[in-house]
Amino acid sequence: MFRSHLVACLALASFVSTAPADEGMWLLNRPPVEALKGKYAFEPSAAWLDHMQKSCVRFETGGSGSIVSANGLVMTNHHVGSDMIEKLSTPERNLMETGFHARTRAEELPCPDLELRLLWSIEDVTERVNSAVGEGMAAADALAARRKMMSAIEAEAQEKTGLYAEVVTLYQGGRYHLYSSKRYTDVRLVFAPEMQIAFFGGDTDNFEYPRFDLDCCFFRIYENGQPLKATHHLKWSANGAADGELTFVFGHPGSTDRLYTVDHLKFMRDAELPYTLRRLWRNEIKMTSFAARSDEHARIASGDVFGIANSRKAQTGVLAGLLDPVIMDRKRADEQALRAAVQANSDQRTAWGDAWHEITEAQETLREFYVRYAALEFRGGALRGDLPRIARTLVRLAAEKAKPSADRLREYRDSELPSVELELFSPAPIYEALEIERLASGLSLMAELLGGDDPAVQAALGGLSPHNRAEQLVKATTLEDVEVRRRVAGGGQPTIDNARDPLLVLIRNLDAEARALRQRYEDEVESVERGAYARIAAAMFAIHGESIYPDATFTLRLAFGPIKGYAEHGAAVAPFTTFAGLYERSELRHAAYPFNLPQRWIDRKDRLELGTPFNFVCTADIIGGNSGSPVVNKAGEVVGLIFDGNVQSLVWDVAYTDAQGRAVAVDSRGMIEALGAVYEADELVNELTAK
Amino acid sequence: MFRSHLVACLALASFVSTAPADEGMWLLNRPPVEALKGKYAFEPSAAWLDHMQKSCVRFETGGSGSIVSANGLVMTNHHVGSDMIEKLSTPERNLMETGFHARTRAEELPCPDLELRLLWSIEDVTERVNSAVGEGMAAADALAARRKMMSAIEAEAQEKTGLYAEVVTLYQGGRYHLYSSKRYTDVRLVFAPEMQIAFFGGDTDNFEYPRFDLDCCFFRIYENGQPLKATHHLKWSANGAADGELTFVFGHPGSTDRLYTVDHLKFMRDAELPYTLRRLWRNEIKMTSFAARSDEHARIASGDVFGIANSRKAQTGVLAGLLDPVIMDRKRADEQALRAAVQANSDQRTAWGDAWHEITEAQETLREFYVRYAALEFRGGALRGDLPRIARTLVRLAAEKAKPSADRLREYRDSELPSVELELFSPAPIYEALEIERLASGLSLMAELLGGDDPAVQAALGGLSPHNRAEQLVKATTLEDVEVRRRVAGGGQPTIDNARDPLLVLIRNLDAEARALRQRYEDEVESVERGAYARIAAAMFAIHGESIYPDATFTLRLAFGPIKGYAEHGAAVAPFTTFAGLYERSELRHAAYPFNLPQRWIDRKDRLELGTPFNFVCTADIIGGNSGSPVVNKAGEVVGLIFDGNVQSLVWDVAYTDAQGRAVAVDSRGMIEALGAVYEADELVNELTAK
């Protein structure tokens, strides 16, 4: 399923050539008017776009959602909400297993650390950002100067509007837009089905089609203790969408790599993805084994297991794409054509001609230290788990807060601190057994990657085996206590310097090298890429005009395309599935996990109109992070809810094609039918379908 | 579980220091007389040892067994026999799921390609082998000269006795013994329980204790179409063994690495095991996902899934040991003591002093090409699957058969050809879907390891994506047809040279580099190690005397130790489990897979004496390959059947300790009780317990 894994992917936005078919993740302030008018005779009005924009929310945990009632009801996927659903569970009340339904407002469950953002306005600040760069500045200095200016613009905007402000880098430096958003942190769980029906078919059917998943859940935004009076919200379609009908998807695709240079793609293929998959395979085996050991282990590890397996399948698909000569040949041809056009014009050649080569060199540099950088610096690298993450945040927060906001690591600038603290001081449960398992596996992975005699590995192991060290650290630390975290955070750098907590000490000791690696990445790779891709962008704008969209950046985008089946193994795959198909598939697989059904779906089968559309596919261009995006019709009414792409869509990370690739959604009619007939959630149905 | 993975591990035998406790995998012609007399007041007679030797068999698929009736009945583990049980299954008759029981001789099922060997005699030929090495010969030449002499000795012996003859390298060159064995290839399946009870608890409980597994099955050896009239066979103990009773294990431990030098162990830790685990994780995820897709997929992939998961768990345990400073410090101290003793004597210093350094250098050389060598040359490397294995055998067989036996790759010398052909011309089923999946995954792994632009990768992919290439090759080849294989093998080199079969062509094209890598390994690593370890062996013999045992080499060994519980997490783990415990564990885990029971175990629970011992642990020193080894008492009577070691025993690959490490066995009483009460296999019980 499409859950964004933001932190692990240091994706660089790039560009796509003028889009054929229904390709594109379009900016809302640069909508695909031509394509929609030409192919579908539909012209989105400014009001229509503004309404859609202000009805959509972003889940900071990595997903999309939409406001679907005047009272702040929010629709997203179960697998986007599952992080919260798990945190709200206990051994006695496993909401993943039982589902949840608040029949009254009072029963709605406040989430411990969920933040939603709603994009309120967009402003192009490209010129102002670029004005910070002096003539002949080195790449690293230019990057720093732009960042400083971006922080200043953000601080100024935030001061003026009170909204969360972020300058977003688009077209990898081709454009900079100021996004101002509302933040909501009082969010409560309203309804979630059992994971068994939300994720029916499990990993086996994940990224496959046909599907039969009720992958939805509902939250409610509160403001000042009251349900949000939404200025905009989506209405429910009375009849859903028909085969062939044009649909629109508004959501937050996390990252794509569509116009990486060929050599950059080869770096992904030969270095980045092999590392990532190696880590994911290990983690999946370890977490699956851990979860199998007892019911309680299964409960506390289920989110981790899902997230890892989901990423693994997605990344496997991307790698398969990069190993497909058809795709690489097309990439090579596109690049050669663009470079040839640039070479043919002497001004362009002088201005942009070297950009591709610079990126090639940057990748070669990165190969020298990529694995070490990833292991020591990436979240989810070697020191995996909640406690190492908390320790890292505390260590860095102390150092960064002592600097002016514009000079800090970007994730610690003033505008981000509320989000950092929401996560840092979250009362969400931390499980000792799970932490030990994750840390032990991470420490072993670190040794496998860097070698047992490596100084960082030796420091991390502290003279113990990975498992014994993990046990020692997890048992000795007191960071599972939120009050301890508050005290440490309050004490600033002296508290960190004098810390005796062994986990804090370890993270502090490893931090210098981790920071140095990141600095090297920024100075020698990112800054070079930023400068070079900006020139490639300029070349593309010059040659293709402005009808191109930027790579995904986990910011709001519009995609579109009709509901449409496809052919596979010589047979037609119909665009819609039904409840009848769900029961058939369960029976075919002997109702064995993951094809078993929740008891109430068995008991209430007779109440369901079995022919109701349950899931469908359309050609809209989506990617991880789009999970929970509403699918709407021309009237902007909800006809579905994106929750996945099929296996043929995984390659969309680097190249869109609608030959077979499809976005997968829950049908709006299926949701209403299930909520009514199976869950007797009449008040929820009424709220959704209110005129 | 302990199944040997012979081909993947190019293990080098080494040595262990004089053994404390119950350590040791002893040669039958150098039994641990001192230890047994001193600690247990037991002196094994020559006749007792001869009887045991001639009652034991080796499964060439990688396991141990014993003859347990006068009519050639052979006992081993279900997981050793499962390879055959799967091959004898069809979609309509899934013997893994249903079990199998031949109530008459006529119902016994002939195995398609099973070979058993029975060791008949041992002769020390060390002097003759070493006489081939001239003064001042280079390491690579010395290796070749010894090999040539070994082949000559084997050919001569085989000619004289008609027995299969093999010169076994022990103490890594310290000794060479000529082993002469009887070979049996008409072997028939007599009885197998359902996999669900043989492997109750699945991967979750694998390598754990307490256990509740009926991990046994029975075959029968035929000779000239009649059941073997066994000259020796084991009798069944009337009462089993008691807590604390001394037991003996006779079996074929596959490989250990106990006295690798510290730097050699570091190579394992930092290069070999990380590569191996990376491959295993990938394969496990891929095969588990494949098996989940349908009942038929589950059936055809179950053996692969088990084998991979089993290896992964075992190798994870070895790596954990190598990352444990306690173990590495002990290794370092042992090595330093031995080196200091050698340094203290000028003759010894001159003769042996450089050996450790030579091994260090050999490992450094190997690091330069290890991954490439493993990917291209190891069975189970990049081109995984039955069809690539068959193609490789055909390509090499043609080239090797054209040479004199003594000049061939060792696995193709004359004495090995019957075994090579048994496997090559096996009518065992080959499944297209499974082959495609394995080959696609292998091709992707190859690209991940070597890079997408690597010439070997490009050749392997042939301009297609891994999946498309795998599909193309598997669908186009005709090697699934045994007659085709016979024709190709019969045609020799010209047929290979003119082959159009795309899989043969691919393997042929990759073979030159694979052979070159192997040659480099032999010339620059193996030969150096062989020479250096021989000198280290000489040093150990000089300092410790002859009371040391060689590392495991998949040849018959004797281990011993009492039945004995241990302490874990502060609690006592009892040595025996019972049927009552089986039912309790199933209930605790809601009888959900892998803790579900076969229907007849549910139906016939009342017939079982629930207090009967089911599994037990003892301190005998075993390792992968010992699976299926009989456990006997001082009278040589069967009291159990080795099927596993606990998780604390996994480190025995590099260092034995009986603090917690234990061998795990099925109790002889549990087998008889289950065979009678659950399976109504009275004739089998009678045959086993006949006086």
Cα–Cα distance for residue pair B21/B6, rounded to 1 Å: 28
User: B591 in contact with A at a CB cutoff of 8 Å?
Assistant: no
Of the candidates B14, B25, B19, B203, the one whose C-alpha atom is nearest the C-alpha of residue B624 is B25
* B495-504: pLDDT as tens digits: 999 999 999 9
* A607-627: pLDDT as tens digits: 999 999 999 999 999 999 999
Residue A172 is predicted with a pLDDT of 83
User: B444 in contact with A at a CB cutoff of 8 Å?
Assistant: yes
B100 CB contacts (<8 Å, ≥6 apart)? B85, B88, B109, B189, B191, B192
pLDDT of B420 over the 80 cut:
yes
A645 phi and psi angles, rounded to 5 deg: -125, 160
Write down the pTM of the prediction: 0.94
Q: How far is CA B507 from CA A334, A662, B141, B500, B515, in A?
A: 34, 37, 29, 12, 12
Residue A2 is predicted with a pLDDT of 63
Tell me whether residues B203 and A289 touch, CB distance under 8 A: yes
How close, in Å, is residue A538 to chain B by CA atoms?
A: 30
* Intervals of CATH 2.40.10.120 along chain B: 26-115+185-237+244-251+551-689
Residue B9 is predicted with a pLDDT of 32
Tell me whether residues B444 and A319 touch, CB distance under 8 A: yes
Q: Provide the residue type at B64 as one letter.
A: S
Residue B16 is predicted with a pLDDT of 41
What number of C-beta contacts closer than 8 Å exist between A and B?
A: 104
Find the closest chain B residue to A467 by CA distance: B320
Cα–Cα distance for residue pair B120/B76, rounded to 1 Å: 20
User: B319 in contact with A at a CB cutoff of 8 Å?
Assistant: yes
A560 phi and psi angles, rounded to 5 deg: -155, 160
Residue B21 is predicted with a pLDDT of 75
pLDDT of B663 over the 70 cut:
yes
How close, in Å, is residue B592 to chain A by CA atoms?
A: 9
Structure tokens at B98: 């249903």
The three-point CA angle A272-A278-A284 to 5° equals 130
Residue A21 is predicted with a pLDDT of 75
Closest to A444 (Cβ–Cβ): which among B282, B323, B592? B323
pLDDT of B13 over the 50 cut:
no
| Residue where the block lists tokens 């795709």 | A327
Tell me whether residues A323 and B463 touch, CB distance under 8 A: no
Residue B173 is predicted with a pLDDT of 84
* Intervals of CATH 2.40.10.120 along chain A: 26-115+185-257+551-689
* B553-565: pLDDT as tens digits: 999 999 999 999 9
Q: Which helix (H) or strand (E) holds A615?
A: strand A613-618
* B140-169: pLDDT as tens digits: 999 999 999 999 999 999 999 999 999 999
How close, in Å, is residue A307 to chain B by CA atoms?
A: 15
* B291-316: pLDDT as tens digits: 999 999 999 999 999 999 999 999 99
pLDDT of B290 over the 80 cut:
yes
Candidates B203, B204, B284, B294: best to mutate against A (most CBs of A within 10 A) is B204
Residue A259 is predicted with a pLDDT of 81
How close, in Å, is residue B227 to chain A by CA atoms?
A: 42
Contact B252, B556 (CB under 8 A): yes
Of the candidates B141, B551, B531, B528, the one whose C-alpha atom is nearest the C-alpha of residue B364 is B528
How close, in Å, is residue B319 to chain A by CA atoms?
A: 9
Residue A11 is predicted with a pLDDT of 32
Question: How are the residues of chain B apportioned to helix, strand and coil, as percentages rounded to the nearest 5?
Answer: 50, 15, 35
User: A599 in contact with B at a CB cutoff of 8 Å?
Assistant: no
* B580-616: pLDDT as tens digits: 999 999 999 999 999 999 999 999 999 999 999 999 9
Contacts of B590 in chain A (CB under 8 A): 295
- B2 pLDDT band, cuts 50/70/90, is low
Residue A379 is predicted with a pLDDT of 87
| Residue where the block lists tokens 């936005």 | A13
How close, in Å, is residue A628 to chain B by CA atoms?
A: 26
* B450-478: pLDDT as tens digits: 999 999 999 999 999 999 999 999 999 99
Residue B174 is predicted with a pLDDT of 85
Residue B553 is predicted with a pLDDT of 95
Contacts of A196 in chain B (CB under 8 A): none
- B643 pLDDT band, cuts 50/70/90, is very high
Tell me whether residues B270 and A323 touch, CB distance under 8 A: no
- The count of other CB atoms within 10 Å of the CB of residue A672 is 18
Find the closest chain B residue to A590 by CA distance: B295
Cα–Cα distance for residue pair B486/B481, rounded to 1 Å: 9
B26-115+185-237+244-251+551-689: CATH class: mainly beta
How close, in Å, is residue B292 to chain A by CA atoms?
A: 6
Cα–Cα distance for residue pair A336/A359, rounded to 1 Å: 15
Tell me whether residues B266 and A463 touch, CB distance under 8 A: no
pLDDT of B196 over the 60 cut:
yes
Radius of gyration for chain A, computed over Cα atoms and rounded to the nearest angstrom: 25
Contacts 24+ apart (CB under 8 A), B376-379: B376/B456, B376/B510, B376/B513, B376/B514, B376/B517, B377/B514, B377/B515, B377/B517, B377/B518, B377/B521, B378/B7, B378/B8, B378/B10, B379/B7, B379/B8
User: A319 in contact with B at a CB cutoff of 8 Å?
Assistant: yes
Residue B379 is predicted with a pLDDT of 87
Structure tokens at B201: 């608890």
Closest to A325 (Cβ–Cβ): which among B289, B451, B464? B464
Sign of CA dihedral A669, A674, A680, A681: negative
Can you tell me the mean pLDDT for B314-336? 95
pLDDT of B5 over the 70 cut:
no
pLDDT of B28 over the 70 cut:
yes
How close, in Å, is residue B271 to chain A by CA atoms?
A: 8
Assigned architecture for domain A26-115+185-257+551-689: Beta Barrel (2.40)
How close, in Å, is residue A439 to chain B by CA atoms?
A: 14
User: B452 in contact with A at a CB cutoff of 8 Å?
Assistant: yes
DSSP-derived pairing of the beta strands A630-632 and A638-645? antiparallel
Residue A19 is predicted with a pLDDT of 46
Cα–Cα distance for residue pair B353/B355, rounded to 1 Å: 6
User: B273 in contact with A at a CB cutoff of 8 Å?
Assistant: yes
Residue A4 is predicted with a pLDDT of 52
**Residue ranges of chain A with per-residue pLDDT less than 50:** 5-19
Q: How far is CA B11 from CA B255, B311, B354, B526, B554, in A?
A: 6, 15, 22, 10, 10
pLDDT of B48 over the 50 cut:
yes
User: B398 in contact with A at a CB cutoff of 8 Å?
Assistant: no
- B3 pLDDT band, cuts 50/70/90, is low
User: B204 in contact with A at a CB cutoff of 8 Å?
Assistant: yes
pLDDT of B350 over the 70 cut:
yes
Candidates B97, B285, B330, B569: best to mutate against A (most CBs of A within 10 A) is B285
Q: Which helix (H) or strand (E) holds B118?
A: strand B116-124
DSSP-derived pairing of the beta strands B175-184 and B164-170? antiparallel
Q: Which helix (H) or strand (E) holds A527?
A: helix A527-544
Closest to A269 (Cβ–Cβ): which among B285, B293, B452? B452
User: A568 in contact with B at a CB cutoff of 8 Å?
Assistant: no
User: A127 in contact with B at a CB cutoff of 8 Å?
Assistant: no
Candidates B465, B568, B648: best to mutate against A (most CBs of A within 10 A) is B465
Tell me whether residues A325 and B593 touch, CB distance under 8 A: no
Peptide bond into A210 cis (omega under 30): yes
Closest to A325 (Cβ–Cβ): which among B269, B281, B463? B463
Contacts of A273 in chain B (CB under 8 A): 448
Cα–Cα distance for residue pair B179/B556, rounded to 1 Å: 10
Contacts of A281 in chain B (CB under 8 A): 278, 281-282, 284-285
